Amino acid sequence: STTLADFDPELARAIHAEEGRQEDHVELIASENYASPLVRAVQDSVFTNKYAEGYPGRRYYSGCGNVDVAERLAIERAKQLFGCDYANVQPHAGAQANAAVFLALASPGDTVMGMDLAQGGHLTHGNPSNFSGRHYRIVPYGLDPATGLIDYDEMERIALATRPRLLIGGFSAYSRHKDWARMRAIADKAGAIFWVDMAHVAGLVAAGEYPDPLPHAHVVTSTTHKTLRGPRGGIILASGQGAEFCRKLDSAVFPGVQGGPLMHVIAAKAVAFKEALQPGFRTYQRQVLANARAMAALIQRRGYRIVSGGTDNHLMLIDLSDRPYTGRDADAALSDAGITTNKNTVPNDPRSPFVTSGLRIGTPAVTTRGFGVAECERLAGWLCDVLDALGDGTHAQVAARIHERVVALCREHPVYR
């Protein structure tokens, strides 16, 4: 048997280098996390070989008895974790879960209301470059520029004026609680179906640390790899919507937008949901929140503005629009210091999405590797040191000095080794 290093040294080197990068840099990208060794191992199982179009007990291929066990476990655990009565665990990723909801519940040309990408929404909530924005008539909603908070009054006004088929709640860059009950009331008044994409906060919701959308939404989608810390993937959930509604969702996933499900990933979702049902998962999510609050407080003490003035979840947006450098500059300088963030638009950003005036940072990954408030405060201090240095042009030296400290801190808290 030959090793990957023998057979494909170029690829083996890239994987090895990525292992080193993940161990030795600080990951502050809010949508990333480190899957557990068990989740990773299950994705490497022989389930990857099996075709299983259909659903457990109703497959188009024979030999599906074992994968049926895995998918049933994933479905039952997802329902238990989120306290709901319907779960589809087949979407390959968050975007596919969202595509299936569009297909099941709206027709091309229908009016759909989603949060503007530039104000914190996601591509699949109606951005013109995405299928959602191309096939549906999108009416976006956003933030009150004065507060950085969602403007529910404006949302209601737009919903009543445009009568959307779907109202989408959910975000990729909003640091506050969302008022799901208010959004459901707006949807009801406007005659819309209320759909929440909780991809970013699913782990917090599972742990009871963020408002639960399931009692309010007709349908909920999520990824499984962000705060939820499972394999890359998507899920669709619902509660109390009846068999016909759920059947539509199932047939929108398969055969609507997907073919054969990724059974090795579905099995890994089952493991991740079991992990999320353990008491330690709540402790982890509470630490994610405490770390985010500590970072936001320190960054503000150092004179940087956080959109909306703080955070109630795992992420925050630093507004650099009053600085002489851009979000892209900040992202690059922090990268030189071994700190990975992402440039992000801020509300009413004068710069393009490639340049931006903001940075999004989040704590799920650093918390998984064992950083507590003390480590996160040190980290936030270093981040501000790099930003200060960007302002006075000394960032190359400062980033190099901080990089050494970042590596030392990371080695005290290994991810896998």
Please give the single-letter amino acid code of residue 387: L
The answer to whether the annotation marks 211 as part of a ligand binding site is no
The answer to whether the annotation marks 352 as part of a ligand binding site is yes
| Residue 32 known to be catalytic | no
Cβ-based nearer residue to ligand PLP, 133 or 234: 234
Please give the single-letter amino acid code of residue 125: H
Alpha-carbon gap, residue 411 to 417, rounded angstroms: 9
Shortest CB 218 distance to ligand PLP, Å = 17
Shortest CB 97 distance to ligand PLP, Å = 7
Cβ-based nearer residue to ligand PLP, 142 or 234: 234
Alpha-carbon gap, residue 132 to 16, rounded angstroms: 37
| Residue 188 known to be catalytic | no
| Residue 226 known to be catalytic | yes
The answer to whether the annotation marks 242 as part of a ligand binding site is no
255 cis-preceded (ω within 30 degrees of 0): yes
| Residue 51 known to be catalytic | yes
Site residues, ligand PLP (CB under 6 A): 31, 93-95, 98, 122, 124, 170-172, 197, 199-200, 223, 234
| Residue 304 known to be catalytic | no
Cβ-based nearer residue to ligand PLP, 101 or 409: 101
Cβ-based nearer residue to ligand PLP, 308 or 342: 342
Instruction: Give the chain's end-to-end CA distance (angstroms, integer).
Output: 25
The answer to whether the annotation marks 354 as part of a ligand binding site is yes
- The string over 250-282, giving b where at least 16 C-beta atoms fall within 10 Å of a residue's C-beta and e elsewhere, is bebbbebbbeebbbbbbbbbbbbbbbbeeeebb
Q: Choosing from 53, 76, 110, 179, which is the catalytic residue?
A: 53
| Residue 223 known to be catalytic | yes
Task: Judge residue 37's burial from the number of C-beta atoms within 10 Å of its C-beta, 0-12 exposed, 13-18 middle, 19 or more buried.
Answer: exposed
Shortest CB 98 distance to ligand PLP, Å = 6
- Chain position whose Cβ is nearest to ligand PLP: 94
Q: Which among 349, 356, 350, 339 has a CA at the least distance from the CA of 404?
A: 339
> Cα separations (Å) of 310 from 148, 161, 185, 299?
10, 32, 27, 10
- Residues with catalytic annotation? 51, 53, 197, 223, 226, 232
Residue numbering of the annotated binding site for (6S)-5,6,7,8-tetrahydrofolate: 117, 121-123, 352-354
Annotated binding site: 117, 121-123, 352-354
